[in-house]
């Protein structure tokens, strides 16, 4: 059975002066099975693409996460929320993301604002467009995400971190 993974990708994009990043969600049995799809969706230079890390998604916000070929009919949904904010002594915008189980994007955004980037200024908030990314994770790689309440679960940790080139050389 396939496992849902979040991949943290890095690379160059055109004339960028610093490395750029993205996250993608893929359900696979083996990590290497994700590489073709990750290459396909990468927006930057195809030959500079690399993995910075990946982790399985098995639990979030009080719910177990499982994959199924059957459609999920529950009320709760899994959201990925990426928030941005600033610190007065740093030019760069900081980001932090998390997974939230909620009935709506608005509820997920509110949960994110309460827990992400604590102590930062100018958090992107108030309406959905001010949140960098709020993605409803409903169906991935032909599988449906199923949520089962489990208040005793633990947040997932990276399974691997480092530098692994997966780009295509011309």
- Residues 62-115 pLDDT 10s: 999 998 989 889 999 898 888 888 899 999 988 888 899 999 988 998 999 899
On the question of pLDDT at 129 being above 50, the answer is: no
The most confident of 3-7, 24-28, 162-166, by mean pLDDT: 162-166
Domain 1-57+152-170 class, CATH top level: alpha beta
CA distance to 5, 30, 40, 92, per residue, from 51 (Å): 13, 15, 14, 22
Place of tokens 């993605």: 135
The pLDDT value given to residue 48: 93
Domain boundaries defined on the chain? 1-57+152-170
pTM of the full structure: 0.88
Per-residue confidence band for 157, with pLDDT thresholds at 50, 70 and 90? very high
Q: Which residue has the higher pLDDT, 58 or 138?
A: 58
What are the beta bridge partners of residue 98?
Answer: 81
Rounded Cα gap, residues 67 and 75, in angstroms: 16
- Phi first, then psi, for residue 31 (nearest 5°) are -55, -45
Per-residue confidence band for 154, with pLDDT thresholds at 50, 70 and 90? very high
Per-residue confidence band for 125, with pLDDT thresholds at 50, 70 and 90? very low
């Amino acid at each position: 059975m396939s496992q849902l993974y979040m991949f943290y990708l890095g690379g160059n994009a055109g004339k960028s002066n610093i490395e750029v990043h993205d996250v993608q969600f893929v359900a696979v049995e083996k990590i290497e099975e994700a590489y073709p799809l990750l290459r396909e969706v990468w927006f930057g230079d195809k030959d500079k693409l690399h993995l910075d890390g990946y982790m399985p998604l098995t639990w979030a916000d009080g719910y177990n996460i499982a994959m199924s070929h059957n459609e999920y009919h529950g009320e709760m949904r899994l959201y990925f929320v990426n928030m941005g904010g600033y610190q007065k002594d740093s030019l760069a915008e900081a980001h932090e993301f998390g997974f939230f189980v909620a009935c709506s994007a608005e509820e997920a955004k509110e949960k994110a604002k309460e827990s992400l980037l604590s102590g930062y200024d100018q958090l992107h908030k108030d309406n959905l467009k001010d949140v960098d990314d709020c993605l409803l994770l409903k169906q991935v790689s032909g599988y449906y995400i199923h949520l089962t309440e489990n208040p005793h679960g633990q947040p997932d940790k990276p399974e691997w971190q480092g530098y692994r080139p997966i780009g295509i050389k011309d």
